[in-house]
Amino acid sequence: MNEKLIINTSLLRKESCFEPKPCLVEKVVEMPAAAFARLISRPLDDQYVIAQNKPLMYCDNEFYHCILAVDMHNGDGLLIESEGSNYARYSQYIPHAREIVAAHKQTMSFSQLKDIVADFVNNAVSDSADKETLTVNLHDLTESQQVHETLMKCVSEVLCDRPEIASRSLSGSTLQAAKKALVETKLYCPLYVVAEPPDYDSDMLEVPASQLAKYADLINKKIKTSLTDVDEKLRGLIAWTDDAELDHKVLSVFPSVENRGGELYGVMIINSYGELSKAELISLSDEITGQLSDGWGESFEQNEVRLDGCKYFISFWNSDYFYLKPEAEVFHQPTNELKM
């Protein structure tokens, strides 16, 4: 193993001056090694990860607002500000990006605890300077009042960073925390419906979703029975997320259908601890879209829904006209105009 530090970067020849500008990381995106390699090899091509997070990237008088794509394998990253584009218009390779993110998240108490352990080890080494062996009694460390108090502060600080927690109080060796109230958000999508033809020899018949609007309650019962996994029954589609932050912030995402004025829509009912930020809503929409196209949605559309003797197949995903939007963007409320 090479004991010297290795940094992956691009060196500039005879650069006369460096003028860095603060870059505010709006979101960290962990990427598989192969996907990250494609990103850094062709940053001027349109990239899915950039297109999906485009609203987060812009420049103002104070910062470049960026996303940080991080290689899940080696921890390096690419800092990107696309300025409204789907490619990396402004970018910088960041070595050891994952370690930078981890250091940013590390709390003061964790740093203090690390210093306490370092002092404890240094003292043990000094006390055994004239001996052939070194004995470290961990009981002496764990029974320390300073360690106890610092550990409680660590727990308190970690709780403070959890999106579910509204407040916490520390009294002696007891820590109490209050959770945030749940906030419901609805995201709507169009439905694609086909029916089995009566003669069984013809192709499936596409029917308007509105034709099934009156059966919304029956369809929702079918949807409920399709959630068979234990975690899926409790939390819906969010049970399958690999995003730790979303896993903490979002309690549940349950698919359903809703009759709105005679039209039938797919709706994702989201319960989260507090309001979802723009970045969180983008990430969650990506997660839900993946589940509707390839996960739960793909399985559900292959199972018939029998209504009044007819067999229907209902899909929450159709690449030709799919969208996933908040209620306010789908159902525009009419303005009240003053009539003379």
pLDDT tens sequence across 25-83: 999 988 888 889 999 999 999 998 898 899 999 999 999 999 999 998 899 999 999 99
Separation CA 88–CA 42 (nearest Å) = 9
Q: What are phi and psi of 111, to 5 degrees?
A: -65, -40
DSSP conformation class of 104: H
Q: What is the pLDDT confidence band of residue 340, given thresholds at 50, 70 and 90?
A: very low
Q: Classify the C-alpha dihedral 193-209-298-48 as positive or negative.
A: positive
Work out the pLDDT band at 2, boundaries 50, 70, 90.
low
- Which of 340 and 172 is assigned the larger pLDDT? 172
Please state, rounded to an integer, the average pLDDT across all residues of the chain: 88
Contacts of residue 55, defined as CB under 8 A and 6 or more positions apart, other chains included, come to 278, 282
Res 298: pLDDT: 93
Contact 243, 283 (CB under 8 A): yes
CA distance 132 to 15: 53
Single-letter code of the amino acid located at 289? T
When pLDDT is cut at 50, 70 and 90, the band that residue 338 belongs to is very low
CA–CA gap between residue 229 and residue 248 (Å, rounded): 19
Dihedral over alpha carbons 264, 265, 268, 274 (to 10 degrees): -100
Mean pLDDT of 106-125: 82
Average of per-residue pLDDT across 110-121: 84
CA 126 to chain centre: 47
pTM of the model: 0.64
Mean pLDDT of 300-323: 91
Report the pLDDT value the prediction gives residue 107, as an integer from 0 to 100: 72
Confidence of residue 337 (pLDDT cuts 50, 70, 90): very low
In the 8-state DSSP scheme, what is residue 74? T
pLDDT value of residue 173: 73
Q: How far apart (Å, rounded) are the C-alpha atoms in residues 84 and 82?
A: 5
Residue 336 has pLDDT above 60, yes or no: no
What would the two tokens of residue 324 be?
């996933």
Burial category of 277 from C-beta neighbours within 10 Å (exposed 0-12, middle 13-18, buried 19 and up): middle
